């Protein structure tokens, strides 16, 4: 298997909006086990090298149910 260094059409190198781990589901949160969810999202952000100023927005789109309210 070969990996391509090509940039997807319409995207600029270094300005990738896709997650390097986009095939790994970001943990969803419904309001239970907040400590477990925080641990999982911190691991995800660290592995994917997500900058601090994008973390809240990324995390917030994965809230549902009681946690979203």
Of the candidate ranges 12-16, 29-33, 50-54, 62-66, the one whose mean pLDDT is the lowest: 12-16
Residue 40: which residues within 8 A CB-CB, separation 6 or more?
Answer: 27
Instruction: Give the mean pLDDT of 39-61.
Output: 90
- What pLDDT does 20 receive? 60
pTM of the model as a whole: 0.59
CA–CA dist 55, 37 (Å, integer): 14
Confidence of residue 54 (pLDDT cuts 50, 70, 90): very high
């Amino acid at each position: 298997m070969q990996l391509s260094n090509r940039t997807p059409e319409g995207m600029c190198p270094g300005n990738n909006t896709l997650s390097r781990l986009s095939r790994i589901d970001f943990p969803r949160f419904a309001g239970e086990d907040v400590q477990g969810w925080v641990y999982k999202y911190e691991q995800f952000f660290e592995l994917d090298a997500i900058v601090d100023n994008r973390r809240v927005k990324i995390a917030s789109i994965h809230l549902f149910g009681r946690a979203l309210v």
